[in-house]
Homo-oligomer: A and B are copies of this chain.
Amino acid sequence: MVGAGQLARMTQQSAIALGVELRVLANTSDESAARVIVDTRLGDYRELADLREFATGCHAITFDHEHVPTEHIRALAADGYAVRPGADALVHAQDKAVMRERLTSFGAPCPAWTRVSGGAADGVSASAAEGVSASGAEGVKEVSAFAAEHGWPVVLKAIRGGYDGRGVWVCRTPAEVEEALSGGVPLMAEAFVPFERELAVLVARSPHGQGVSYPVVETVQQDGICVEVLAPAPGLDPEEAAEAQRIALQIAHELGVTGLLAVEMFQTADGLLVNELAMRPHNSGHWTIDGSRTSQFEQHLRAVLDLPLGSPSMSAPVVVMANLLGGDDPDLFKRYEHVMAHDPGIKLHFYGKEVRPGRKIGHVTAVGDDLETVRARARHAAVYLTTGEYT
Contact = CB atoms under 8 A, between A and B. Distances in A.
Interface in A329-354: 333, 336-337, 340-341, 344-345, 347-352
B19 A362 contact: yes
B345 A310 contact: yes
B17 A340 contact: no
Interface in A238-292: 289-290
Interface stretch (A35-43, A70-78, A107-115, A116-124): A35-43
A17 B10 CA distance: 8
A236 interface: no
How many chain A residues sit at the interface, stated as a range, is 35 or more
A296 interface: no
Nearest to A10: B16
A16 B9 contact: yes
A11 to B, nearest CB: 10
Contacts of A350: 17-19
A251 B212 CA distance: 47
A21 B32 CA distance: 12
A307 interface: yes
Interface in A24-44: 34-38, 40
Contacts of A37: 36, 38
A310 B343 CA distance: 8
A137 interface: no
30 contacts: A9-B16, A12-B36, A13-B17, A15-B36, A17-B289, A17-B349, A17-B350, A18-B350, A19-B351, A19-B352, A19-B362, A21-B35, A34-B38, A35-B38, A36-B36, A36-B37, A37-B38, A212-B344, A290-B293, A293-B347, A293-B367, A307-B337, A307-B340, A308-B337, A309-B344, A310-B340, A310-B345, A311-B344, A315-B316, A315-B367
Interface of A: 9-10, 12-13, 15-19, 21, 34-38, 40, 212, 289-290, 293-294, 302, 307-311, 313, 315-316, 333, 336-337, 340-341, 344-345, 347-352, 362, 367
